[in-house]
Amino acid sequence: MEPSSRRTFLQQAAAGLGTLSLASAGLGAGELGGVKPLRVACVGGHPGDPEAGPGGTLALFAAAGHSVSNIYFNRGEAGVEGKTYDEAAGIRTAEAVAACKVLGARPVFVGQIDGSAVVDNAWVLKMEELLAGERPDIVFTHWPIDSHKDHQCASLLTIQVWMRAKVKFELYFFEVGSGVETMNFHPTDLVDITAVRELKRRAVECHVSQRPAEIYGPGIPGNQAIMEEYRGMQLGVKAAEAFVKMVGLRQGNTIAGLGD
């Protein structure tokens, strides 16, 4: 593709995309100034998902002085080959805590089990209680049709809390391993993470048990570096993260027969 054609393609690809404005979202150059501090939460399926997904955006919020929580749906119990669930949970919990220190976030663990995710009325209420305690202004979670069912379940429970409207927050979906894990993702918003790209990578690399070199490795499907650069090209910067904003009417307190 010729350079002029490539520019036209990228402009067309970005048509209709908004930018999750650094000003309106409370992001800045490392200080709040007169901006009201925000509470930001990310609901990820496993340790490592908030870092690999919106890790750069979370780092920007934290650097600007806002409160950031990484909410891990499980402790990665099934995710370390040759280890028992308890051993793997210990390893991956420690990795998540280390990654949160890099990003400036606080780790929170929901209590589900890796690979055995549950979506039912009881868990909707548990997630609602957890998020009520966090009091978030903005929540990021997985795209609901990610290929991993833990991602799907974490997303669906978060959506249910948003729809019930007892806990009010803006909801954004993020991508991980686009084209491999995240399917049919058409972003509405982009965030420039150029300034914190290496910080994000350091957070991802805290998850040693998940072979982070492969996540950024050349020729790997869903390559993290290529995703960031492609989204950056759409925005006209070196690296960016992409999001889909949840819009529509919340349905009050009677979702799916849950009642009050």
Q: Report the CATH number at residue 7.
A: 3.40.50.10320
pLDDT category, 128, cuts 50, 70, 90?
very high
- Average the pLDDT over 246-260 and give the result: 51
Domain-located, residue 106? yes
**259 belongs to a structural domain:** no
220 domain residue, yes or no? yes
Predicted confidence (pLDDT) per residue in 138-164, tens digit: 999 999 999 999 999 999 999 999 999
Q: Does 256 map to a domain?
A: no
Q: Regarding predicted confidence, which is higher, 173 or 177? A: 173
Q: Is residue 216 part of a domain?
A: yes
In a domain, 228, yes or no: yes
Per-chain mean pLDDT for the chain: 85
Using CA of residue 30, residue 36, residue 42, residue 246, what is the dihedral sign? Answer: negative
Average pLDDT over residues 74-89: 95
Q: Does residue 223 lie in a domain region?
A: yes
The contacts of residue 174 (CB under 8 Å, 6+ apart) are 42, 53, 54, 140, 141, 142, 143, 241, 242, 243
User: What pLDDT is attached to residue 20?
Assistant: 58
Q: Give the DSSP H or E segment for 199.
A: helix 197-205
Residue 5: what pLDDT?
Answer: 41
pLDDT of residue 257 exceeding 60: no
Contact 204, 100 (CB under 8 A): no
What digits encode the pLDDT tens for the residues 102-123? 999 999 999 999 999 999 999 9
Structural domain span for residue 190: 3-22+38-246
pTM summary value: 0.85
The answer as to whether 135 is a domain residue is: yes
Spatial CA neighbour of 217 closest among 201, 206, 233, 197:
201
User: What's the average model confidence in pLDDT over 62-68?
Assistant: 95
Number of domains comprising the chain? 1
Tell me the percentage of the chain whose pLDDT exceeds 70.
Answer: 80
